[in-house]
A and B are shown apart, each in its own frame.
Chain A
Amino acid sequence: MGLFDVKIISEHFEVPDAKNLDYYEKKGGYRSARKACSMAPESIAAEVTASNLRGRGGAGFPTAMKWSFVPKDADTVYLVVNADESEPGTFKDRHILYWNPHSMIEGVIIAAVALKVRNAYIYIRGEMAREYKVLQAAIDQAYAKGYLGERIFGTGVSVDLTVYRGLGAYICGEETALLSSLEGGRGWPRLKPPFPAVKGLWGKPTIVNNVETLANLPWIIEHGGKAFADLGTGRSGGLRLVSVCGHVNKPGVYELPLTVTGRELVDEVCGGVKGGRKVKGIIPGGVSMPVLAPDELDVPFEFDALQKDERIKEVEVRPGQKFDLGGNRTLRTMAGSGGVVVMDDTTDMTQMAWRIVHFFAEESCGQCTPCREGTGWLAQVAHRIAFDHGRAGDVDLLASIADGIAGNTICALGDAAAWPTLAFLTKYRDEFEAKVRGAHRPPTSNWGAA
């Protein structure tokens, strides 16, 4: 069996029957949840620590460490599943919810035992109507079997799982905004600290975990944390679901070792670039993350490597001046949400940059001035450049707005708009400047014009 053949979550993707509890159970499903119900919470946490499982939502934070922040004497702890997948380029959680919902439900049970949770909630993206139906049906099956609700599997453990539908706000994927929304308000992020693990839903300790993160737990409990860590590399355990879109022959969702590089991903996994053309840039983890140029594709798409490997150029505010990530750190890129966007050599990078900042301008929640105003300015200036009516100085203006937003907002949406902007300017600056030099009026397109 080759390395690409090992599967944890995606083994039964595309099998229509896999959504059903009977099928899932026949393949060994719910054994781990049953086992977890008779395990001490500390032993489950120990396995997760040993597994090196890192959050699959975007930040890559070690799951066990997040769990450990819950105060030991807490009377009520909530578990919330973040199924609000909306980072452009990312569509892996949607696959789990549709093809293998029971793996996530089983993960919820395991996490609930480990964290002593009585009530868990799944916050699912409102647009995912098809997935909502499948998920709710799967939960109903689990309730009917006695795998959710009072005294599950006949043990002393009780867990309720409630689906909560979002209503179309990207910001609700940010964990504190998600909690504000789940409480029934506008999706406004909150300042951290206090972190949700200490003060979250209704002021109680709350763990927010991504769908894929939880769906890995049954395997970890079945095979042990060490086996999971061994599948990974360095400080990152397991495999990773990667969703690939853009100019490749075989876009889709793939479960891959973390050692796979950008070049292998495009050429070997996705059948190469469409039409035999060349790669011009790859976004490795959703549009918030800095783009990689063609000479940076031999780095593994792994959390630490993408942040630290020196083959990836540091993002600059202007040529020669590195962007300051705070704490004397510079920014290369990050693994983010696993949403990979491949752009071929016919792509107009100025239009890509514009569409990305246009998205963030649409989705800013409006709380913090640098983001509310800044993302709108970014979109205006990027639009001018991309559609041939840029003005002298616009490239520097774009960089200065981005630099002014980054690090100055409650949540990461401001950074998410600033980082890709600066990365596009760092790596394709000539193209932006040429666009401005060749600008003419009136604009050549009204895409996205107000």
Chain B
Amino acid sequence: MQRHPSFRARKAVPGKELSTQIEARIQQLWSRFPEGRAGKALCLPVLFLAQEQFGHVDAEVVDIVAKRLGLVPAHVTGVATFYFMLNQTRPGRFHLQICTNIGCQLVGAYDVFDRCKQRLGISNKGTTADGNITLTEVECLAACGYGPVAQIAERERPEIPLYFENLDNKRIDAILDALAEGRVPTELGN
């Protein structure tokens, strides 16, 4: 979706721009797509990288991405609201995602999920009052043989997310303890 010549971009948001790393990535990927198609094709990758930079994708970030790629903000908003991995509001520092789909459900995922809700005092998609942990029930993570499985993402740290497999009350307690201390227990992850 190329911008119509009559389209006027909203005013740039002062003080917020895409990082030099994202710029470099755009340069690197641009030529991999056919002439005239790259701007739109890069919508997903750039939104994802922008989320790593800013923590979430709100209207402001949508505008920045749309402007950079020459797309109408309505298209970028449509994409940003379609995909589960793009957060429209700021999540907690740690995003704890528990798979409860069938493979995990059969081996006790709801016990693990209930344990998290109970210990954190929040419900699905809630964030703890201190902003430390957001808890989300997610769909299949393609690790069904090793369930129950959780994934933890740390805000603005693209090298984490990690999978945590074969969870039980003991292992999820250890994970929750570590998150409360402000660290992802990578030693327990895969």
Contact = CB atoms under 8 A, between A and B. Distances in A.
A168 B139 CA distance: 9
A167 B48 contact: yes
Contacts of B110: 447
Interface string A432-450: 0000000000000001100
A170 B82 CA distance: 11
B32 A129 contact: no
Interface in B109-167: 110, 137, 139-147, 151, 161-163
Interface of B is mostly: mixed
A63 B177 CA distance: 50
Interface in A155-182: 160, 162, 164-170, 181-182
Contacts of B78: 185-186
B44 interface: yes
Nearest to A420: B102
B92 interface: no
B12 interface: no
A18 interface: no
Interface string A173-200: 0000000011111110000000000000
A85 B32 CA distance: 24
Nearest to B36: A202
Contact of B32 (A130, A162, A287, A352): A162
Contacts of A160: 32
Interface stretch (B3-11, B15-23, B83-91, B168-176): B83-91
A181 B47 CA distance: 13
Interface residues of B, number: 44
A251 B83 CA distance: 30
Interface residues of A, number: 58
Interface stretch (A50-58, A311-319, A354-362): A354-362
A88 B145 contact: no
A94 interface: yes
Contacts of B147: 245
A109 interface: no
Contacts of B84: 167-169
Interface of B: 29, 32, 34, 37, 39-45, 47-48, 75, 78-79, 82-86, 100-103, 105-107, 110, 137, 139-147, 151, 161-163, 190
